[in-house]
Amino acid sequence: MDRNRLLLAFVLMMMVAIAPSIIWPPKKSDHRTVGQSDSLRVSDSSASPRATAPPAPSDGPTVRPSDADTGRIVWVTAPLYRLGFSTRGGLLKAAELLQYRSFAPGDSARPVQLVPAGDAFLRHRLVLPSGDTVSLDNWDFQPSPDAAGLVVHEGQAAPPLRFDAERAGSHVALEYSFVPDQYRFEVHGSVTGLGSAGAVLLIDFANGLRSVEKDSLDDYRHYSVVTKASKTERTDFSGIRPNQRALLNGPFEWVGVKSKYFLTAALALDEGQPTFGGAIAIGGPRKGKAASRATVLITMPVQPAGTFRYSV
């Protein structure tokens, strides 16, 4: 009997030691030549087992690229909002709601700004069947129209803002289409060189909203991740410890982050189009007991044709 117990204890200890490396595998060292790591060209993997899920991100908070080169900001102005997109990665660097006034100290009644200073929304990564991850954060995109800004008029057809980039023979396009009289825009993406297995899109959606309330501590108490499948569910930032991962199992019609009065969300509502596979929320650092940051990642399948779409 003692021998059996000893054997059982040994097996359990081995599971505890090995399980973390299976659930959160360490990043493989990259021994490839310079330039290959950013290539999206992969061989046709139809004859080999496909990756059914992207490798789990690191336990720690997302490491942001250097701000040394943040690209040029292209502004989109509509009656309801003013959005700033960067040519570096096609990121959303600013989101002003022109009909709402901010009460944050120092804002002097300026319009509500949802993106925290120095941060960005809508970082896109592609997880390939090989397990490699290609981040578009450091890709330099060419905007079209190539102008300082784009004005969207109510009652008129709004021209889209398109970003194109090419690297190692692969082409990526991000196109943003706007609705002048709604707080909403469409995101259409296309990628070449994926092969028949497609990929998984990992949307680093947001790291929390900028507080625009006079009492920011009270505002932070309402910060949460909200998901919609068969019903709407809420996961409070305060319930996720720093560096802790909250796995939110989909599929979801939409995933968003909210403060006391504002919500921004990614939506996959188009009939016949893929929905979001799931989401991960990673607790961010705290100042005292206030939980104002959590990295929210959303997964979405990319079809073999290399296309994806959702709205914000």
pLDDT digits (tens, 9 = 90+) for 114-141: 999 999 999 999 999 888 999 999 999 9
Q: Is 2 inside any structural domain? A: no
User: In the chain, how many domains are there?
Assistant: 1
Detail the DSSP E strand segments found in the chain. 73-77, 81-86, 92-101, 111-113, 123-127, 133-135, 142-144, 149-151, 161-167, 170-178, 185-191, 199-206, 224-228, 232-236, 245-252, 254-258, 263-267, 276-283, 294-302, 307-311
Q: Is 13 inside any structural domain? A: no
Question: Mean of the pLDDT values across residues 97-116?
Answer: 95
pLDDT of residue 66: 43
Q: Is 252 inside any structural domain? A: yes
Whether the predicted pLDDT of 293 surpasses 50? yes
pLDDT of residue 149: 86
**Quick one: how far is CA 30 from the chain centroid?**
24
How far CA 136 is from CA of 183, 248, 260, 306, in Å, comes to 25, 24, 31, 15
Name the residue with tokens 């290399």: 306
CATH of the domain at 218: 2.70.98.90
Q: Are 129 and 51 in contact (CB under 8 A)?
A: yes
Q: Is 190 inside any structural domain? A: yes
Q: Is 128 inside any structural domain? A: yes
Per-residue pLDDT tens digits for 146-191: 988 889 888 777 889 999 999 988 899 999 999 889 999 999 999 9
Q: Is 31 inside any structural domain? A: no
Per-residue pLDDT tens digits for 227-278: 999 999 999 999 999 999 999 999 999 999 999 999 999 999 988 888 999 9
Q: Is 120 inside any structural domain? A: yes
Give the pair of three-digit tokens for residue 231: 């019903």
Q: Is 250 inside any structural domain? A: yes
How many whole angstroms separate alpha carbon 298 and alpha carbon 206?
Answer: 10
Handedness of CA 210, 216, 221, 222 (dihedral sign): negative
* Structural domain boundaries, residue 142: 51-311
Q: Please, what's the b/e burial string for 188-227 (b: 16 or more CB within 10 A of its CB; e: otherwise)?
A: bbbbeebbebbbbbbbbbbbbbbbbbeebeebbbbbbbbb
pLDDT of residue 69: 63
